[in-house]
Amino acid sequence: MRIPAGLRDYYELCKPRVVLLIVFTAMVGMFLATPGMVPIDALLFGTLGIGLMAASAAAVNQMLDRKADQRMARTRKRPLVTGHLDMMQSARFAAAIGLIGMAILLWLVNPLTAWLTLVTLVGYAGVYTVYLKRATPQNIVIGGAAGAAPPVLGWAAVTGTVDAHALILFLIIFIWTPPHFWALAIERHREYAEVDIPMLPVTHGLEYTRTQVLLYTVLLFIVSLLPFATGMSGPLYLISAIGLSGWFLIYAIRLKYAPKPGLAMRTFGYSILYLMALFTVLLVDHYVAPFSFGALFNSDLTAVLIFYAIEDRSGFDASFSVSSAGHCGLYFVVRSQCAGRRYGFVKRFPTRGRGLYLRRLSRCQRYADRKLENR
């Protein structure tokens, strides 16, 4: 289906591929934030609000960078450069979708998500684009904090809090950003030099930048294992993370020690595939993998039943029932009016693989605590 020419210009103004990646990682954060299904209102309105505000920030970025975009081959076809849109049209559009996104998050999701999203996108469109991008060769490292925030925003949309596991997702993207963008900067270093943007290859040379790409990729390999190390994910994620990060590391080693024309751009392309694949595996592992790996841990295991009961001191006022076939997903039934409470739970685990299940149970307990505290 073809997008009409006028609408296509507004569509391109939003940097759709960048926004798609932002929305995708935010949605993964939403699903990882809850043991069961994400509440439909948080999923729909959270995704819509974050997406609209990200698109608004992308439009503002193009408005501020339009003069540099005119001189770079990669950006010469952007609608503000071609004249298909003018500054007033772009400003009105960016303001409209930004305000709509903010209103959705503020009134239909929760204030924490709204304000975190606003701070993040002001950091990108304002602090990074206006100042950092032209002030320091570490621009992409410092400014990468804004690009790493979407999983935290998604997590906050569901829970109304910022959990340590959400910060692990943040850290993965934060460490991924420099080797991802520096690979592109190596390929386009002459263009950045012509428009006086001090990207690392321009200020420190290609060889130094290749070394930094390699070092950050090694660090990314280590950081990508944190979801498994902290009990956030299981063996499927571990195996996938090692494979995906290992292949990224091979690209970085080749870029450092055997550079050739086009390799930097292929490294850049793989880095995008890497992030999408890694977060997809996080999602699959969260819902599907525990069932699949149940047989690996204990061939006799057909089901694991976890009962988590919460009693009010004055009587049975609240209950959480959690059931899982092979620990395949956790679904809560929440009924609570209690203030004081005590916990009791009965669990049955296989002898092997007990650590994984205990870590997952700990997450269930924390989730239940937050649900009760928010009532």
The DSSP symbol for 132 reads I
Token pair for 118: 């606003």
**Banded pLDDT at 327 (limits 50, 70, 90):** very low
What is the architecture, at CATH level 2, of domain 1-158?
Answer: Orthogonal Bundle (1.10)
338 has pLDDT over 70: no
**Banded pLDDT at 249 (limits 50, 70, 90):** very high
Helix (H) / strand (E) containing 323: strand 319-324
- Comparing 303 with 153, the larger pLDDT belongs to 153
**Banded pLDDT at 74 (limits 50, 70, 90):** confident
Answer whether 227's CB lies under 8 Å from 282's CB.
yes
pLDDT of residue 141: 87
Phi-psi region of 216 (alpha: psi -120 to 50; beta: other; left: phi over 0): alpha
pLDDT of residue 107: 96
State what percent of residues in the chain have pLDDT above 90.
58
Nearest Cα to 34, choosing from 371, 367, 374, 373? 367
pLDDT of residue 138: 86
pLDDT of residue 336: 30
**Coil, helix or strand for 83?**
coil
Token pair for 310: 């919460």
The model's pLDDT over 127-149, given as tens digits with 9 standing for 90+, comes to 888 788 888 888 888 888 888 99
The model's pLDDT over 169-199, given as tens digits with 9 standing for 90+, comes to 999 999 999 999 999 999 999 988 888 889 9
DSSP one-letter string for 184-237: HHHHTHHHHHHTT---HHHHH-HHHHHHHHHHHHHHHHHHTTHHHHTTSS-HHH
pLDDT of residue 127: 85
Phi, psi dihedral angles at 230 (to 5 degrees) = -95, 5
pLDDT of residue 133: 83
The model's pLDDT over 262-312, given as tens digits with 9 standing for 90+, comes to 999 999 999 999 999 999 999 999 987 554 444 333 333 333 333 333 333
Q: Which residues, including other chains, have CB under 8 Å from residue 53's CB and lie 6 or more apart?
A: 97, 98, 101, 102, 105, 117, 118, 121
Q: Tell me the torsion sign for CA atoms 283, 286, 291, 293.
A: positive
Kindly list the domain boundaries of the chain, sorted by start residue: 1-158, 163-287, 299-373
pLDDT of residue 159: 93
Mean pLDDT of the chain: 80
pLDDT of residue 132: 82
Cα-trace Rg, the chain: 23
Nearest Cα to 333, choosing from 346, 344, 323? 323
**Banded pLDDT at 354 (limits 50, 70, 90):** very low
pTM: 0.78
Q: Which residues, including other chains, have CB under 8 Å from residue 178's CB and lie 6 or more apart?
A: 140, 141, 144, 212, 213, 216
Helix (H) / strand (E) containing 311: strand 304-311
Token pair for 194: 């012509």
Token pair for 169: 């997702």
Residue range 236-249: mean pLDDT, rounded: 96
How far is it, in rounded angstroms, from Cα 159 to Cα 110?
A: 9
The model's pLDDT over 110-125, given as tens digits with 9 standing for 90+, comes to 999 999 999 998 988 8
Residue range 214-235: mean pLDDT, rounded: 95
325 has pLDDT over 50: no
Phi, psi dihedral angles at 217 (to 5 degrees) = -70, -35
24 has pLDDT over 90: yes
Answer whether 169's CB lies under 8 Å from 177's CB.
no
Most trustworthy range by pLDDT among 16-20, 34-38, 328-332: 16-20
pLDDT of residue 194: 87
**Banded pLDDT at 35 (limits 50, 70, 90):** confident
The model's pLDDT over 156-173, given as tens digits with 9 standing for 90+, comes to 999 999 999 999 999 999
pLDDT of residue 352: 37
Angle, CA of 48, 49 and 55, to the nearest 5°: 90
Angle, CA of 247, 169 and 20, to the nearest 5°: 80
Length of the chain: 375
